[in-house]
Amino acid sequence: MGSDNSNPSSPRLWVPSPSMDKIDRINRPGWKRNSLTPRTTTFPCPGCEHDVDLGERGINGLFRNFTLETIVERYRQAARAATAIMCDLCKPPPQESTKSCMDCSASYCNECFKIYHPWGTIKAQHEYVGPTTNFRPKILMCPEHETERINMYCELCRRPVCHLCKLGGNHSNHRVTTMSSAYKTLKEKLSKDIDYLIGKESQVKSQISELNLLMKETECNGERAKEDAITHFEKLFDILEERKSSVLKAIDASKKLRLDKFQTQMEEYQGLLENNGLVGYAQEVLKETDQSCFVQTAKQLHLRIQKATESLKSFRPAAQTSFEDYVVNTSKQTELLGELSFFSSGIDVPEINEEESKVYNNALISWHHPEKDKADSYVLEYRKINRDEEMLSWNEIEVCGTNKVISELESNCNYAFRVRAYKGSICSPCSRELILHTPPAPVFNFLFDEKCGYNNEHLLLNLKRDRVESRAGFNLLLAAERIQVGCYTSLDYIIGDVGITKGKHFWAFRVEPYSYLVKAGVASSDKLQEWLRSPRDAVSPRYEQDSGHDSGSEDACFDSSQRFTLVTIGMKKFFIPKSPTSSNEPENRVLPMPTSIGIFLDYDKGKVGFYDMDHMKCLYERQVDCSHTMYPAFALMGSGGIQLEESITAKYLEYQEDL
Write the DSSP string, 85-113.
Answer: PBPSSSPSSPPBP-EEETTTTEEE-HHHH
Cα(225)–Cα(650) distance, rounded to whole angstroms? 51
CATH number at residue 89: 3.30.160.60
Among 180, 203, 221, where does a domain finish? 180
Question: Who has greater pLDDT, 61 or 254?
Answer: 254
Is 629's pLDDT higher than 90?
A: yes
Average pLDDT of the chain, as a whole number: 78
Q: Per-residue pLDDT tens for 181-196? A: 888 988 898 998 888 8
Distance of CA 10 to the CA centre of its chain: 55
Asked if residue 640 lies in contact with residue 463, where contact means CB atoms within 8 angstroms, the answer is no
Per-residue confidence (pLDDT) for residue 541, from 0 to 100: 39
Q: Are residues 163 and 302 in the same domain?
A: no
Nearest CA to 549 out of 604, 488, 610 is that of: 488
**Residues 6+ positions from 127 with CB-CB distance below 8 Å:** 101, 102, 103
Per-residue confidence (pLDDT) for residue 20, from 0 to 100: 43
3-class DSSP assignment, residue 316: coil
Is 249's pLDDT higher than 50?
A: yes
Parallel, antiparallel, or unpaired for β 467-470 and 640-644? Answer: antiparallel
Q: Note whether residue 383 is domain-resident.
A: yes
- ω before 93 within 30° of 0 (cis)? yes
Is 155's pLDDT higher than 60?
A: yes
Residue 649 has a CB neighbour count (10 Å cut-off) of 20
Count how many domains the chain has. Answer: 4
Q: DSSP secondary-structure letter at 448?
A: B
Per-residue confidence (pLDDT) for residue 507, from 0 to 100: 94
Rg of the chain on CA atoms, in Å = 46
Per-residue confidence (pLDDT) for residue 428, from 0 to 100: 82
CATH number at residue 629: 2.60.120.920
Q: Per-residue pLDDT tens for 327-336? A: 888 888 887 7
Q: Are residues 604 and 642 in the same domain?
A: yes
Nearest CA to 103 out of 65, 146, 136, 67 is that of: 136
Per-residue confidence (pLDDT) for residue 422, from 0 to 100: 85
Q: Note whether residue 523 is domain-resident.
A: yes
3-class DSSP assignment, residue 336: helix
Q: Are residues 104 and 147 in the same domain?
A: yes
Q: Is 306 exposed, middle or buried (0-12, 13-18, 19+ CB in 10 A)?
A: exposed
3-class DSSP assignment, residue 409: coil
- ω before 118 within 30° of 0 (cis)? no
Per-residue confidence (pLDDT) for residue 373, from 0 to 100: 60
Asked if residue 364 lies in contact with residue 403, where contact means CB atoms within 8 angstroms, the answer is yes
Q: DSSP secondary-structure letter at 226?
A: H
Q: How confident is the model at residue 397 (pLDDT cuts 50, 70, 90)?
A: very high
Cα(589)–Cα(620) distance, rounded to whole angstroms? 10
For the ranges 11-25, 266-280, 377-391, the one whose mean pLDDT is highest? 377-391
Reported as half-sphere exposure (CB side, CA atoms, 13 A), residue 441 has a value of 22
Q: Which amino acid is at 355?
A: E
Q: Are residues 508 and 432 in the same domain?
A: no
Q: Are residues 302 and 415 in the same domain?
A: no
Cα(497)–Cα(499) distance, rounded to whole angstroms? 7
Element at 362 (helix H, strand E)? none
Cα(158)–Cα(168) distance, rounded to whole angstroms? 18
Q: Are residues 596 and 498 in the same domain?
A: yes
Q: Note whether residue 18 is domain-resident.
A: no
Cα(51)–Cα(61) distance, rounded to whole angstroms? 16
Q: Are residues 649 and 565 in the same domain?
A: yes
Per-residue confidence (pLDDT) for residue 2, from 0 to 100: 41
494 phi/psi in degrees, rounded to 5? -150, 140
Q: Which amino acid is at 535?
A: P
3-state helix, strand, coil in the chain (%, to 5): 35, 25, 45
Cα(312)–Cα(275) distance, rounded to whole angstroms? 18
Cα(126)–Cα(106) distance, rounded to whole angstroms? 12
Nearest CA to 174 out of 189, 160, 188 is that of: 160
Domain that holds residue 622: 459-534+561-654
Instruction: Read off the pLDDT of each residue in 369-378 and give the average, rounded to a whole number.
Output: 75
Q: How confident is the model at residue 22 (pLDDT cuts 50, 70, 90)?
A: very low
Among 180, 212, 235, where does a domain finish? 180
CATH number at residue 356: 2.60.40.10
Among 147, 180, 213, where does a domain finish? 180
Nearest CA to 446 out of 489, 498, 481, 410 is that of: 498
Asked if residue 167 lies in contact with residue 151, where contact means CB atoms within 8 angstroms, the answer is no
Q: Are residues 490 and 636 in the same domain?
A: yes
Is 115's pLDDT higher than 90?
A: no
How many residues are recorded in the chain? 659
Tell me what percent of the residues of the chain surpass a pLDDT of 70.
75
Using CA atoms, how far residue 40 sits from 28, 33, 44, 47, in Å, is 11, 10, 13, 21
